[in-house]
Structure 1
Amino acid sequence: MNRLLSSLILIALSCHCLADDPIPVVNKGSIERIEPFKSTLINSRYIDVWLPPGYSQNSKYDVLYMHDGRMLFDANITWNKQEWMVDEVAGSLIEQKKVRPFIVVAIPNAVKNRHSEFFPQQPFEQLSKQQQAQMYQLDKSADLPLFNTKVYSDRYLEFIVTDIVPFIEANYSVNKGGKHRYLAGSSMGGLISWYGLLQYPNEFAGAICMSTHWPGIFTDNKPIFDAFKAYIEKHLPALSTQKIYFDYGDQTLDAMYPKLQTQIDAVFNQQQYPKSQWQSLFFEGENHSEQAWSKRLHIPLEFIFAQ
């Protein structure tokens, strides 16, 4: 339990945001910040657009929409001095022609509202009113609730689909249409990535879900996981050619995931989802951190964007 508590504290810290977030410095490619990016659906925020080495208006690029955008590029400006190393990993794969070219749209989380924004809304609403009320009473820390407001992840996904996607496709040299768009995230970002794919199967071609936070909160809670599993069982038949990637370790917060991911894998197997279109990989000894995800990021990127 102490290890889980430590992980909870770390995740709480990961949501901290400076008043004026600096633009990340990248080693490969370049960053363009769109600020403010206004929306009537959720609180306005900036977005960062990573353009790969050699980006050209004469070429067309697929698009990877990534959650928790502050943690992706520059360890010098993150709370824990870690990063996903997206620019280095993706840039190298593109330069080596191991993947087709793509850009990354980095969407920062909602800080104190992160849990409410990323928790899959329809499964949440399938819980009993008593279970929902109990979850709203949970605290992230002594003076900060886990859910700072009601769950609104459906509006967050709508924000991506109806606000961000049209902007990107109007202002950047990208391939248009759902067959060229993908979602990616870790932990709670992993939850919202598979949920977004199942909510909008015609708008996205795949999802990367690393260290997916299947418990939903920070203790074992069977009703929550059962609601996630039931939603996937019901909506997986809506997918056809989409790719989906899961992975997990077994240290720190990831210690909660192996037994749960195994049950999700069973759903994919039972429904005979084509093995060429999904992966679920276990990384023994790996923990719940940007450092761990950066070490294996090349695997889902090659799976999703293979030439």
Structure 2
Amino acid sequence: MPNNHKRLYLFLCAWLCAVTVAFAQYTVTLRIVQQPALHAEDTIFAAGNFNNWQPADGRFYFVKQHGYLSLQIKNVPATVVEFKCTRGDWGKTESALAGADIGNHVISITGDTTIDISIAAWKDDFAPVVKQRTVSPNVHILDTAFAVPQLNSKRRIWIYLPPGYHAGNEKYPVMYLQDGQNLFDASTAAFGEWGVDEILDSMVKKGAPSCIVVGIDNGAERMQEYNPFDNEKFGKGKGKAYVDFLVQTLKPFIDGHYRTLRSKNRTIIGGSSMGGLISFYALLKYPDIFGRGGIFSPAFWTADGIKKLTDSAGNKLTGKLFFYMGELEGGTYVNDMEEVVETVAKKSDAMIYKVIDPEGQHNEQAWHKWFADFYRWIMEDGFNNAIRLDK
């Protein structure tokens, strides 16, 4: 058992004891009581935190019953269910009357529940909204087709250089973040951006330590590339090869072309959902490369082997780990993360900052909300100033 003073627990929610596995199982019935006449014959699906937001999941579609389009979801624990209706594609999701995006339906399940849904309009019946670019001047595209030999593919790579980078000779820590298209620019983010560049510009201006951020776009096989384990539904896991790419190809390139601090405690990795899963796996697989990590809403449920790997390899973790989950993502996902965090706490000397946000959802807005806290904490102790080349 590692010494307690080597670990830091920040339990931010007093209600934590309420987030336990519920033994009761309930039936949730969704009924569409109103929808536009256009596309009335199309199949409508529910996509939510109960099926990893798959927009055309054949297990969750509405059928005509008792005068309504209904969908019955059985064996739901006492949790929070969050979903949207689609016609099989995220480009064909329900919207407001004028085509604007709407929030998710959010239901707290405490018993058998019937929910009536009114669909005002479908997003694809309106002209696409042209998203404005929101990227900071400190961000540029490193390459639109950076070679990924381990996966026989190519990927767009973004890089954020700290304010004043080109005017000095300092070396900087490097943070590698997954799902690069969602980090910096609203025009490339399907569901909103994290706003990493604006957050860091503001924090550095106020005296926070600086950092280089490398954003790696996800590919068409995101569910496989961000999973180190095979999954019956999503296919063969390619996460080991992806993490090998980060360590063997991308990091050497970044270190060779930019002024970086290369030690493990100056190398950070992070991501959300599947990106959170693969970032945590990278910490376990390469503990001598990645010393610090941000694991946001990790999709541990897709990786049957992650808990066993944490148990066997967690003792190698010695750095700082930030874990986030929103309560509104669902009790099962919260419990999965709790189990992994507890194992890391028991096995390792790692410092842990854990957040369970009672209002948090599984989206970019939630990850944006907590990114500054993550960054402030992960950059503490010895990160207060960049190290000059001559030191």
TM-score normalized by the length of structure 1: 0.78
Q: Verify: 1:303 aligned to 2:349, yes or no.
A: no
Question: Structure 1 residues 272 and 67, CA, compared in 2 at 3 Å: closer, same or farther?
Answer: closer
Determine the structure 1 residue equivalent to 2:349.
273
Q: Encode CA deviations 1:183-236: one digit per residue, 9 max, x unaligned.
A: 11000011001100110011111110001112117xxxxxx2xx2111101101
How far residue 5 of structure 1 moved from its aligned partner, in angstroms, is 4.5
How far residue 164 of structure 1 moved from its aligned partner, in angstroms, is 0.6
Q: Encode CA deviations 1:40-73: one digit per residue, 9 max, x unaligned.
A: 2121122111112222351111110000100011
Determine the structure 1 residue equivalent to 2:309.
231
Structure 1 vs Structure 2: percent identity of aligned residues?
27
Q: After the TM superposition, which segments of 4 or more aligned residues of structure 1 sit over 4 Å from their partners?
A: 22-25
Q: Encode CA deviations 1:223-274: one digit per residue, 9 max, x unaligned.
A: x2xx21111011011122x1111110122x4543222222223213333635
Q: Verify: 1:68 aligned to 2:179, yes or no.
A: yes
Determine the structure 2 residue equivalent to 1:85.
195
Determine the structure 2 residue equivalent to 1:46.
156
How far residue 77 of structure 1 moved from its aligned partner, in angstroms, is 2.7
Q: Distance in 1 between matches of 2:222 and 2:340?
A: 24
Instruction: Give the structure with the larger helix fraction.
Output: 1
Long gaps (5+) in structure 2? 1-27, 29-45, 56-83, 92-130, 385-391
Determine the structure 1 residue equivalent to 2:117.
none
Partner secondary structure for residue 215 of structure 1: helix
Map 1:134-213 to 2 at 5 A: 135=232, 138=233, 146-147=234-235, 150-213=236-299
Task: Indicate which of 2, 8, 20 corresponds to 2:54.
Answer: 8
Task: Indicate which of 199, 211, 225 corresponds to 1:117.
Answer: 225
Which protein is bigger by CA-based radius of gyration? 2
Superposed CA RMSD:
2.4
Kept in 2: contact 1:205–1:243 (CA 8 A): yes
Question: Structure 1 residues 6 and 199, CA, compared in 2 at 3 Å: closer, same or farther?
Answer: closer
How far residue 284 of structure 1 moved from its aligned partner, in angstroms, is 0.4
How far residue 179 of structure 1 moved from its aligned partner, in angstroms, is 2.9
Q: Distance in 2 between matches of 1:38 and 1:281?
A: 36
Partner secondary structure for residue 115 of structure 1: helix
Kept in 2: contact 1:47–1:107 (CA 8 A): yes
Name the count of aligned residue pairs: 262
Q: Encode CA deviations 1:138-163: one digit per residue, 9 max, x unaligned.
A: 2xxxxxxx33xx21111101111111
Kept in 2: contact 1:67–1:184 (CA 8 A): yes
Question: Structure 1 residues 287 and 90, CA, compared in 2 at 3 Å: closer, same or farther?
Answer: same
Determine the structure 2 residue equivalent to 1:258.
334
Long gaps (5+) in structure 1? 15-21, 125-131, 139-145, 218-223
Question: Structure 1 residues 23 and 49, CA, compared in 2 at 3 Å: closer, same or farther?
Answer: farther
How far residue 176 of structure 1 moved from its aligned partner, in angstroms, is 2.3
User: Which amino acid in structure 2 is aligned with residue 120 of structure 1?
Assistant: P
Q: Verify: 1:36 aligned to 2:110, yes or no.
A: no
Q: Distance in 2 between matches of 1:155 and 1:97?
A: 38
